[in-house]
Amino acid sequence: MSVDRPRPLVAGNWKMNGLRSSAKVLSEIHAGYTPGLKAKVDLLVCPPSTLLHVFALASVGSRVAVGGQDCHAKELGAHTGDISAEMLADAGATYVIVGHSERRQFHGEKDADVCAKAVSAHRAGLTAIVCIGETRQEREAGKTLNVVRKQLRGSIPVDSNPQNLVVAYEPVWAIGTGLTPTAADVAEVHALIRDELRRLVGKAEAPKVRILYGGSVKPSNAAELMAVENVNGALVGGASLGAADFLAIAGAYLG
């Protein structure tokens, strides 16, 4: 794998979906993760926390990684309903998503909050998937690149490196809407992210950091999106809830 093209990662964010019966979907993902696919792309499933330990146990030896969808910045304390990065790691997670637009929008998380959570992920030995992306209003106002730059600089910890950081660009207006930016739009933003990473993690390390695209990724558009320069995989929402679609997205790397 070229240094300029890190090994791809296709990650499924299940959000607030999934019951114990959903273990069947995970089994189907395991079964469909063929040797040919394993040679091309890494897979990650981020279920709700109620399923995390069960999924982690079921995935031992499968090379399907399991991650959390959020974490608290502190290791422990009086934070009712929250989950620390250490708890996620203890349950078997190796990744955690931080700064997803739904957390930023509905929970009021700012860049500093996202950075603190990424720091906690690193403290616990997890890889932080730091999410960034503009709203429709910001895109229409021509502010996309400025917004993305600001979020990157405010959200990525100083100790970040290709082993503990993944960046996910998710234009807010494309999440769950069926809308996607053009390949040229994605290329422009991902090029900016790569350039900012040179500043944030160093010129030597920046090419090795995986940058995912997220926002209405599905089997029908995966090949085009995954072929874009500086796109090193996908953060998949609704299409990750079914094994066939999730594997089909990952299968874009077989072509």
Please give the positions annotated as active site: 100, 170
Contact of 127 with 163, CB cutoff 8 Å? yes
Contact of 123 with 164, CB cutoff 8 Å? no
Cα angle for residues 28, 210, 16 (degrees, 5° grid): 45
Separation CA 8–CA 253 (nearest Å): 8
Separation CA 31–CA 121 (nearest Å): 30
**192 CB neighbour count, 10 Å cutoff:** 18
Separation CA 89–CA 200 (nearest Å): 26
C-alpha atoms less than 13 angstroms from C-alpha of 171 in its C-beta half-sphere: 25
Separation CA 157–CA 121 (nearest Å): 10
| Residues forming beta bridges with residue 129, ordered by sequence position | 97, 166
Separation CA 43–CA 247 (nearest Å): 9
The pair of three-digit structure tokens given for residue 170, joined into one six-digit string: 């998710």
Separation CA 158–CA 83 (nearest Å): 23
